[in-house]
Structures are given as structure tokens and as C-alpha cells.
Amino acid sequence: MGDMFTSLPLFEDLYLEDTFGEEETPSEQLIAEVALDLPLYETYHYIVPTYLHDRAQPGMRVLAPVGGRRLTGYLLRFSPPPEGIKLREIEDILDDAPLFDEKTLELFEFCAQYLFYPLGEVIKGALPAGINVESKLLVKITETGRNASQSGLLRGPRGELLKQLASEGELPAAHLLNMTSSGRHVHLRELERDGFAELRNTLTKPRNQMKKTKLYKIVEGVSLARRTQLLKKAQKQTDVYTAIEEKGELLWPDIREAFGQVRGILRSLLRKGLIDVEEREISADPFFSPVEQRDTKPPLTEQQQKVMDTVLPGVDQKIFQPFLLHGVTGSGKTEIYMRLIEHMISLGRQAIVLVPEISLTPQFVSNFRARLGDNMTVLHSRLNERERLSQWWRIQRGEVPMVIGARSAIR
């Protein structure tokens, strides 16, 4: 690692030189190249433990040990083990599916090189905010430390830190250091070394997580006779079961809306083996409103057709070509946009429509919904972190081929 980082007080508590373990990495082990969520320009290599082999994929976040801390990192690729370097193991995989693919990683790496910016922070900035696990260092005073504080044994920065700890018992290291004028991480380590304090790392949950609910499904293969026997003299259970059967599956909010608080009924159906339950993420779309879809399209004018004939060849050949349409309000530009988007979707591709924030009105969105249906989403500055994460996942999974948004939609 270059001196430009190891000499900075900011990283005093990381002990990055301890990233390496005690045993040589066998050549047959799976090695992951990881970009850490830190202002560091290097990437690091970690061993993927055997029990994580089936889950680990490039594009996922990992929990990686860095000195005495555990930090979020991004698994870039698998690579041969670096020669002469001793490695540590990643501790966990934080995602069920990759957050980015190989082509997107190429874009991240280009941005990092072009802007001379740490790759881990480029990736973090491109992903939804608030999804990373954070490691927090906690400091707790020991009985020896409390006695030392009462007797005034320590003076200077260490004595000041110990005095604050004596009144609070346990504090986050960052908060404790902010409460003192001259305390630094090295003083905390000295307090730990001398038995006056205990230091431990704890993980904080991501502040931004997808909201989940329960999804109830019918168990297949239960005979009519068996079902009749199990539901005999249980009319409420029969009603709930029939509602789930008619739809094939129902989310808990829909069941609650129809029948009220019937968790006991659902537990009974589960015990009888008539239904199954699983967790399902809820996709929040605050801009959704029912709109009647229009099947008819207005005929193109001669000028509109000329534009389509000019633009479509580049679209079909996947050639980047910018075009500027000149036209007053009401001249038919939006119809061209819709036709081009429909063509892109028919090719299995995606489209994004960027408009000024002031133009992103419910009426504007409704016009697109009426034409393209519900397979679209809207990204807007009024979205909170959870709503933005929900829509981001819909786009990532390919559930919506079209996005409408302001400039903030590009990230």
C-alpha cells in the first residue's frame, strides 16, 4: 500500500497491514478481488471460505475484515492468488443476487481511472444509498479503568478519555473522541492494552432495506376429501383458504384488508398443511395510479415518419447516435419517443426518458402509462431512500424496461 494512505491519521485504527493472515493461500482456493468501501485506490484479495462458494458471485457485496474492523466490500471478480501474500477470509456475502454485472463494472472502473477516484467509492455512489453494513467500534470501561479514573491515575488525553468513559460506561469510539479535545485512536488502543478499557466491533444494520411481507400459497396435491375433512366446521378457515385458492397466492396486506386480523386462522391452515408461507419484498411505487391503457396509436405525420426512418436503423444496429428533434409544443415529439421506446422494448432492451424536474408531472407520467402499461417506473427527487431502492431493484431485475426520471435518475 502506498505511503499516501498509511501515513494519514484518519486510518490509524484500521491496521491495514494486518489484513494478511498467517497461512499461505493454497492455489486451489477461491480468491476474490474486492474493492473496499474506503477512500483507497488499491483493491484487495480475500479467500472465499468453502461454505460461501455456492453463494459468492461477482457484483455482490461482501463483509471483509480490515484490521480490527469489518467493512463492506464489492466482489469484483475471482482471480489467481497473488504470490507471496498471506490472505484473510471474507466473513459473509451480503446479497442474494449481484448488484452489477461485468459491463457495469467496466463502467465503474473507467470512472475510477478517468476521475482518479477510489473504485469502492465509485461503486458505492452508483448504488442506492444506505444499503451498506457498517462496523462500529465500541469502547467500554473496565473495573480497573474505573478505579484508575477515580484515583486520577491517568492524565492527558488518556485520562480525559477515561473520565468520559467513567460517566457513560460504553460509547462509540467516534463519539468518545469527539467529546475530547486531544484523544486519538492510538490512545484508545493504549487503554485497551493496559486493561483500562475493552474495544469491540459491532455491525449496524443498513438504514435502507426493502420492506417485506408474508406471501401465502396453496399447498398442491391435497385431495378434496382431505381438504374437506380438515376444514369441517371451520367456516372462517374455509373462507380464507378459498380466497387464497382463487388467486393462487395472496400477500398478507391483501388478506388483512379482506378479512381483518386473521393471523390465527392462517396459523391453523399452516399447521394443517393446506397453505405455505414465504417472505416477499414489497415494491413501493408512489407514482402509480390506475390508468386505462390505450391500444390505438395516432397515425404518424410525414415528418414524424421521416424521423422514425432516420433513427430506427441506428437503434436496430445498436449504434450510438444522438439526435435533436426540433418542434413546438404539440408538434408530435412525444409520439416519436413512445414509438421508439415501444420498439426498444420489443427488442428486449430498456429505455430511459429524462425530463426537467418541473415537467415530471402526474399527467406526463399518465400519458406514458396509458400507452405502455405498468411495465415502467418513475424516479424522482421526492422518493425516499426505501422507495428509490425498491424501484432500483425492479430495474435491476429487468421487471421494468422503461424508466422516466429527472437527472437524478442517472446513477
Is the domain of 267 the same as that of 163?
Answer: no
Is the domain of 32 the same as that of 99?
Answer: yes
Choose the final residue of a domain: 146, 169, 204.
Answer: 204
Is the domain of 394 the same as that of 338?
Answer: yes
Range of the domain at 245: 212-281
Alpha carbon 80 to chain centroid, angstroms:
28
CATH of residue 384: 3.40.50.300
Residue 39 lies in a domain: yes
Is the domain of 54 the same as that of 80?
Answer: yes
Using left for φ > 0, alpha for ψ between -120 and 50, and beta otherwise, residue 133 falls in beta
Task: Work out how many domains the chain is built from and give that number.
Answer: 4
Residue 355 lies in a domain: yes
Question: Is 0.75 topped by the overall pTM?
Answer: no
Residue 293 lies in a domain: no
Residue 294 lies in a domain: no
What grid cell was written down for 144?
480497573
Residue 200 has pLDDT above 90, yes or no: no
pLDDT of residue 14: 45
pLDDT of residue 34: 95
pLDDT of residue 119: 95
In the chain, pLDDT over 90 holds for what percent of residues?
17
pLDDT of residue 110: 95
Choose the final residue of a domain: 126, 151, 182.
Answer: 126
Q: Can you tell me the distance from the alpha carbon of 291 to that of 112, in angstroms, rounded to the nearest whole number?
A: 43
Residue 236 lies in a domain: yes
Residue 58 lies in a domain: yes
Residue 25 has pLDDT above 50, yes or no: no
Is the domain of 191 the same as that of 232?
Answer: no
Residue 294 has pLDDT above 50, yes or no: yes
Choose the final residue of a domain: 77, 97, 126.
Answer: 126
Exposed/middle/buried for 38, CB within 10 Å: 0-12, 13-18, 19+? buried
Asked which of 208-222, 278-292, 359-373 is least confident by mean pLDDT, the reply is: 278-292
Is the domain of 319 the same as that of 273?
Answer: no
Is the domain of 341 the same as that of 266?
Answer: no
Residue 287 lies in a domain: no
In the chain, pLDDT over 70 holds for what percent of residues?
84
pLDDT, tens digit, for every residue of 255-265? 888 888 888 88
Find, among 278, 279, 222, the residue nearest to 245 by Cα: 222
pLDDT of residue 293: 62
Is the domain of 8 the same as that of 97?
Answer: yes
pLDDT, tens digit, for every residue of 43-78? 999 999 988 898 899 999 898 888 777 788 999 999
Task: State the chain's mean pLDDT as an integer.
Answer: 80
pLDDT of residue 47: 93
CATH of residue 222: 1.10.10.10
Is the domain of 357 the same as that of 310?
Answer: yes
Strands 376-379 and 402-405: parallel
pLDDT, tens digit, for every residue of 83-122? 878 899 998 888 878 889 999 999 999 999 999 999 999 9
